Amino acid sequence: MNFKTRWHKACSDTIGTSMFWRIAVDHRSLADEVLPLIKIYTKGIVLDAGAGRMAWRSSLQPLATRYLSTDYVVEHSELSFCADLQGGVPLGDQTVDTVFCCSVMEHTPEPWRVLPELHRILRPGGHIILSVPFMYYLHGWPHDYFRFTRFGLTRLAEQAGLRVVTQVNGGGFVRMACQTISMAITAVVWTPAAPWLSTVPTSLLYRIGRFFDRFDGNGLFSQNIHIVMTRD
């Protein structure tokens, strides 16, 4: 198997489990940065928008009175329904309490249409937990179209009638380099029989990256922007 195939196999073996967040530096960063937001803002009827292979379901579902998942195509047999987030979500106005959308908007050809659609289905007082890339490698090609600054994302939110509650800069330049190394290590050594061959060096690389990235206090080299929005 080539590098790409082996990397995808490691992800497929672990996605939906806690191990998934330990096999790569970026996975660890996302978990550490986004899970606290999930715990604070997730409630009621939850829509996992762009759920893919349900990486976040185990974190969202226990906090929901009803968990729904959607994506443009079916990548998981338990997906609730398929929908286009750019204007084709088959839910009524103001019917969802929480929308979770991670690493999705960059894959939409017209991302400026996504937040108005999420605003439509969101109940007043509900929250949208959104994560998008800023400085990030090409992924999910050929459907990887955009990158977002925190200022551009705030502008899109305001235009959609949403108010920004909080914003977190995620990752950093050093972690981006460490991610590349961790992906290579996992692709080469991953085996379910000895996951520590991947998780131990990944943990070390993550700590190194996090230590140096803290010196970028303004988030000039953030990999991701995590933002929580509400509808008043």
**Which class is domain 3-230?**
alpha beta
User: CA 131, 153, 162, 229 torsion: positive or negative?
Assistant: positive
What is the reported pTM? 0.94
Please state, in angstroms and rounded to a whole number, the distance separating the CA atoms of residues 132 and 8: 21
State the Cα–Cα distance between residues 114 and 223, nearest whole angstrom.
21
Q: pLDDT band for 141, please (50, 70, 90 cuts).
A: confident
Classify residue 160 by its DSSP letter: T
Mean pLDDT of the 126-145 span: 92
Q: Where are the domains of the chain?
A: 3-230
27-66: per-residue pLDDT in tens? 999 999 999 999 999 999 999 999 999 999 999 999 999 9
Q: How many angstroms separate the CA atoms of 47 and 67, rounded?
A: 6
Question: How confident is the prediction for the chain on average, in pLDDT?
Answer: 95
With a CB cutoff of 8 Å and minimum separation 6, the contacts of 86 are 108, 109, 110, 111, 113, 114, 117
**Is the Cα torsion angle 67, 71, 73, 75 positive or negative in sign?**
negative
Other CB atoms within a 10 A radius of the CB of residue 15 amount to 19
Tokens of 146: 């955009």
Task: Tell me how far the alpha carbon of residue 71 is from its chain's centroid.
Answer: 13
**Rounded distance between C-alpha atoms, residue 27 and residue 21, angstroms:** 5
